[in-house]
Amino acid sequence: MRYEAMVETEMLWRLASEAEDVGDFGRMLELARRGSALGDPVCWFQLGLAYDLGRGVDIDKQQAMRCYRTAWRNHYMGAANNIAILYRERGDNRAMFRWFERATAQGDDGAFLEMAKCYRKGVGVRASAEQAVRCLAAALGGTCISEAEREEAQALLAEYRMCVIPRSP
């Protein structure tokens, strides 16, 4: 992408985000569509969110998936987590787990928490307490994780510690 197009797409997604913040979903969609037509992955992601959550359009999970996949192919790391969630909603747990793995490979430390939950209950992958604990440790050691995710990972890790540490008589 040439420099001028990069500057234009960055401006478009910033304006789209501002419009979304004030609830002007029509304007957000217009700007995100313009940016996605220029190939901007963040605009593709914004469109995916619009279809996923019904912001200014009817909810359309298939269209959301197409937008997220386009964002992913254009190197937007945040798309992998949303793709995983759409697979979870579909009940395709193996695909969900693979996309959480992709998210972690791209630096989304919060996705380690989701993988830990999968290992904990054997969803999309063979259950493994050891792998769950490793994923929780990776999540807690990461920087790309929300405070809520960090707190949940700490609570789950504390549960594992309670099971392993012998109690005094």
* pLDDT higher than threshold 80 for residue 5: no
Res. 6 pLDDT band, cuts 50 70 90 = low
Say what the pLDDT of residue 7 is.
65
Neighbours of 41 (CB within 10 A): 21
Average pLDDT of the residues in 153-167:
80
Average predicted confidence (pLDDT) for the chain: 90
Q: How many CB atoms lie within 10 A of CB 83?
A: 24
Q: Is the pLDDT assigned to residue 101 strictly greater than 80?
A: yes
* Nearest-angstrom CA–CA distance, 34 and 14: 12
Residue 45 above 70 pLDDT?
yes
Q: How confident is the model at residue 8 (pLDDT cuts 50, 70, 90)?
A: confident
pLDDT at 67 over 90: yes
pLDDT of residue 15: 85
User: Given the structure tokens 């909603």, which residue do they identify?
Assistant: 89
Using a pLDDT cut of 70, give the percent of the chain over it: 92
Q: For the chain, what is the total number of helices (H) and then of strands (E)?
A: 9, 0
pLDDT band at 91 (very low <50, low <70, confident <90, very high): very high
Contact 107, 116 (CB under 8 A): no
The residue with greater pLDDT, 17 or 110, is 110
